Structure 1
Amino acid sequence: MPENFQFAYPLVALLIPLPFLIYWLLPPIKNRSSALKYPYFSRAVDVTNQKPKKASYIKKRNWFSWLIMYIIWLLLLTALASPELVGKPEKKIKTARNFLIVADISFSMANNDWVLDGKRVTRWSAVKNIMHEFIGNRKSDRMGLVFFGTNAYIQAPFTSDLNTIQTMLDEADVGMAGQMTNIGKAIVKGMDLFERDTIQSKVMLLLTDGVDSGEAILPLDAANMAKKDSTVVYTIGIGDPGTSSSDLDERTLEEIADMTGGKYFRAKDAEALQSIYAELDTLEPLEYEEESFVPKTLLYYIPLGAALALAGCVVLVNNLILLFKCFKRDS
């Protein structure tokens, strides 16, 4: 990413001539030395032709000392102006939606009739594998997991930590929630999870390869509850209804999606499921903050460090010169 150099506080440059103004406006500091007067002082001056010195004098610095001090001043002003590298503005991802995945892990998901990367795998293994990429792309959402079979349970509450969601997904396996398929109970469990959170935008993704067992609450009654709560439900039917190994109830899944403003998808194989996730990304796009985030790298410590190092060198050199003079005088 290209970066531009700039000063955060360029008006600090107005302080550059300040040392010259101080030197010009303020009176110089006068140093005093002891003096001795004795009789016939004026006569001795006339005889020796020497001009007597005043008791006070102005100590002068050489030009090199002034140059070093001014360089230190410029370095301090540079640090105060806060130099920085500014990158290209980026939009911040906005967390404004709860996206809940409700997945069927009944025994039928263990059917070994899907092909992934040239190998036959179970439906659930393929779903998990493809779902990982989908979850990783939902960086604007707080995601949660509900798994169901005979019963429904919360695997992961809503969180923006997608790595945790990925881990909890890996830990789930077929049969953990029982061998039947209770779609209505799964939707209700998802609604309970939505009610615990304050974010108003709610999206549910329901995946199943079976037909509802007809126990407890009916799927369409649960869908009506979701509709009243402004929850959008997308449904995915796993498998091919035209085969003997599938008992997929597409009609119910279509009605659930229609009632809640979602959409029904059929995933007869791994490739179809992959394309469904891609379409879901367009139906529920990532959301961004209106304000842009501008990455900045602060560089003030470089001139500040140089000023401190140069000042330390000046103090060290002055002390060495003083020690040398003292040693020379004593010897």
Structure 2
Amino acid sequence: MQFEIAYKWVFWLAALPLVVYVILPPLHKKRTGLIAPFFKRAAAVSSQRPKRRAWISSKNLLTWVALAGCWLSLLAAASSPRYVGKPAKKTKTVRSFLIVTDISLSMATTDWHVGGRRLTRWGAIKSIMKGFVKDRKSDQVGLVMFGTNAYLQSPFTTDLETVSWLMDQTEVGMAGQMTSIGSAIAYGIKVFKQDTIKQKIMLLLTDGIDGGQDISPLDAAQAAKRDSIKIYTIGIGQARGSGGYDLDEKTLKDIANTTDGQYFNAMNSGQLKNVYAVLDKLQPVVYDEDVYKPVVLLYYYPLAVAVLLALVAPFINAIINLFRPSS
């Protein structure tokens, strides 16, 4: 840390009280005269010379020193003394990354293995996705869950631990039994509209086909493209008509192509990890850094000295006048 004074020009005002003292005339105070009997005799006995009209309050040297110190301390506080550290860099959020994931009843199918354990599709996706979210260091991440309806689980935030925790609190079936892909994309667009960051990425995960009635997935994809939203789609399991799974790969590919994104298929946890690795290359974490200097302000020290001197100066003057011998 290095000491510096932000406003050195303030000290040019140090001589201002002296200039005011020289230019302005003394302050004259009128006092009421008292005519008393034997006034002249009392004056002669006390050897004092009566004054006609003027009365000048005198200040001793210590009072002047205290007032000067008070003024200089105020100037020192106004100059903003501080300790300044070495320049450092701070990462800014440069992108909004919205995860839109299917939690319809089909995601409860227990056909995935992670770490030697048999898990549901949603349980496996959660365990792998949390690592992907953790690596989104400079992104603000949001979370939308959908089934029959879509709802916001987490608004955009840079608190990635909270996003992972909210993901853990989500269970299959909370949003209904069906798979409304079009409604989920439309809801994601609405979430993006409340955000001001221009780079917008949506990650859509599902293991089914669209069963919604409100808006078709391709119409929603066209609306996303108009809002400059890029959608990456991940199909969980095998395509429709292949091994009994019900996954509409064609629609997911069309959604990705419409928004200049890309489609991925994952039939197991290993493939899903590879998908996230590819996504990291396609959408690498981008750091936009602000340069700043850590500053510790010190103005309150000279300000405290000024207040202390202002309180002490009248007492100094009163005590000295009390013990001053009368002339």
Query: TM-score, normalized by length of structure 2?
Result: 0.67
Alpha-carbon contact 2:98-2:144 (below 8 Å) kept: yes
Give the C-alpha shift of residue 311 in structure 1: 2.5
Q: What is the alpha-carbon distance in structure 1 between the residues aligned to residue 180 and residue 55 of structure 2?
A: 101
1:269 has 2:266 as partner: no
Q: Which whole-Å deviations, capped at 9, do the CAs of 1:33-53 have from their partners, x for residues lacking one?
A: 99x767xx9xxxxxxxx9x96
Distance 1:60 1:120, change over 3 A: farther
Contact 2:140-2:157 within 8 A present in 1 as well: yes
Answer yes or no: is the 8 Å Cα contact 1:101–1:146 preserved in 2.
yes
Alignment of 1:78 onto 2:80:
no
- Structure 1 counterpart of 2:36: none
The Cα of 1:262 is off from its aligned counterpart by: 1.3
CA distance in 2, matches of 1:26, 1:215: 86
Q: What displacement does 1:141 show?
A: 6.2
Unaligned runs of 5+ in 2: 34-38
**Amino acid of the structure 1 residue aligned with 2:169:** E
CA shift, 1:233, in A, is 0.6
C-alpha displacement of 1:76 = 0.7
TM alignment of 1:299-318, pairs within 5 A? 299-318=298-317
Q: Distance in 2 between matches of 1:275 and 1:23?
A: 77
- Say if 1:144 and 1:69 are closer, same or farther in 2 by CA, change over 3 A: same
Q: CA RMSD in A?
A: 4.8
Deviation sequence 1:235-255 (CA, Å, 0-9, x none): 2344688x9797655554344
Q: In the aligned structure 2, how far is the partner of 1:171 from the partner of 1:183?
A: 22
1:84-119 Cα shifts (integer Å, max 9, x gaps): 445536568467x65432101134433363426x76
Equivalenced residues, count: 307
* Aligned 8 A contact 1:139 1:160 in 2: no
Deviations 1:166-203 (A, max 9, x none): 56434321122345544344334434555677877643
2:173 equivalent in structure 1: 175
After the TM superposition, which residues 280-319 of structure 1 pair with which residues of structure 2 at under 5 Å, given as runs? 281-282=283-284, 285=286, 296-319=295-318
Q: TM-score, normalised by structure 1?
A: 0.66
Is this contact kept in 2: 1:184–1:219, CA < 8 A?
yes
Most deviating of 171-180 and 133-142: 133-142
Identity %: 41
TM-superposed deviation, 1:144: 4.2
**Retained in 2: the 8 A contact 1:219–1:256?**
yes
The answer on whether the counterparts of 2:104 and 2:179 sit within 8 Å (CA) in structure 1 is yes
Which residue identity lines up with residue 212 of structure 1 in the other structure?
A: I
Relative distance call for 1:181 and 1:220 in structure 2 (3 A) is same
Can you give the 5+ residue segments of structure 1 that lack an aligned partner in the other structure? 42-49
Q: 1:113: which partner in 2? A: 112
Identify which range, 214-223 or 102-111, moves more after superposition: 214-223
